Amino acid sequence: MRTLLITSARCNLLKERLWRIPYPAPTILLASKMSLNRSGALKEDERNNQATKRSPSCLKTQDSQTTTTLKEGPLENLCLASQAVLERAQKQGRSKCPKCHSSRMFYCYTCYIPVETVPTGEIPIVKLPLKIDIIKHPNETDGKSTAVHAKLLAPEDVTIYTYPCIPDYEDTRHEIALIFPGANSFAVKDIPWSLQKKRQGHLSHDKGEESPTEPAFKAAKLEPDNDSSLDAADGHHREKSVSPLKKIVFIDSTWNQTKKIITDERLQGLLQIELKSRKTHFWRHQKGKPDTYLSTIEAIYYFLVDYHTELLKEKYEGQYDNLLFFFSFMYKLIKTARSSAGKESGIPAGDCTKPE
């Protein structure tokens, strides 16, 4: 290995040569580098802007909905209202409930209203195609339940009951379904056929009996628009599917607490529906249970998406995405907190469903 010895004279000579370099040279190099960086930044901004630009209707196909749910996770592709109000409230900390004056974050889970730092006018309201009843187990902790999200975001269509308080469904059983998995449960697509059989009084739970390919409900005829060339061409009125289902019932409890509610005689005889298998993103995933055990708000959301596409036969365009308005924000908030605290060990990237 050669050792290079630099004498004092040689060092002075190098200094003189360096000083003879024209001064603008490094400035030009710096400017060139800044130009490249700025160009790269502009391109990056352009890409980001293109990525964040969304169709006003947030178009989604049924296939893409299923794909993002199972692989990418729907929380990254939702058509949501601005969550700036939640970001501000999060920075300000807990606030008082306008009704009971309890200290809460974002909303009061007792009164089902936003706190003072979250103006009601900045919370989206979702209109649902049918009514929803939620039967909550009395031991279910209010602050940990996501059922309140549905009541906050769809107040006109959602009602929460605390067991043993259950409505009387005796006279409307043929219009109601209960979300609960089991041997006697049917798929969402079979609801019209199953309710028709139930109305006729001879519904069989034999899985070997296949439902008809055509829906067991009539389509409501709508008057054609005057400028509708399509209707004029085929000579038929436009038709829109109308489901006989008027109300859906959800049970809000842990799996171990469910038996007491599902065996209640007032729920016996209701058509039971089992949802498609989907992975939960709930941060309080039940310990020892598979990750397909959904939170209440997730179950409501996925049911409505399937109902919209499979029963109403309409294209899903994000109509119910805002039901996850609070859920998605809290998911990202907790995921960020766990990441910064170094508590995501063993949790797959993009997930924060660590059992608690």
H-type alpha helices, 247-318: 255-262, 296-306
The CA-atom distances, in angstroms, between 141 and each of 136, 241, 259 are 10, 39, 17
- Stated length of the chain: 356
Residue ranges of the domains in the chain?
Answer: 60-78+125-204+239-356, 82-123
Phi-psi region of 283 (alpha: psi -120 to 50; beta: other; left: phi over 0): alpha
Provide, rounded to the nearest whole percent, the portion of the chain with pLDDT above 90: 45
- Each of the 356 residues of the chain gets a pLDDT tens digit; together they read 444 444 555 545 544 544 444 444 333 333 333 333 444 444 444 444 443 333 334 544 334 333 333 334 457 789 999 999 999 999 999 999 999 999 999 999 999 999 999 999 999 999 999 999 999 999 988 888 999 999 999 999 999 999 999 999 999 999 999 999 888 899 999 999 888 887 777 555 544 455 444 444 444 443 444 444 444 444 444 445 567 899 999 999 988 889 899 999 999 999 999 998 788 877 666 566 666 778 999 999 999 999 999 999 999 999 999 999 999 999 888 888 877 777 544 444 334 433 33
Rounded to whole angstroms, how far apart are CA atoms 262 and 258? 6
Rounded to whole angstroms, how far apart are CA atoms 28 and 174? 79
CA-closest candidate to residue 311, choices 182, 198, 149, 186: 186
CA-closest candidate to residue 269, choices 342, 171, 138: 171
Q: What is the pTM of this model?
A: 0.68
Element containing residue 271 per DSSP (H, E): strand 271-273
Residues with Cβ within 8 Å of 141's Cβ and at least 6 positions away in sequence, in order, are none
H-type alpha helices, 101-242: 147-153, 191-200, 229-234
Tell me the residue type at 94. R
The strands making up 131-136's β-sheet, listed across from edge to edge, are 158-162, 131-136, 247-252, 176-179, 271-273
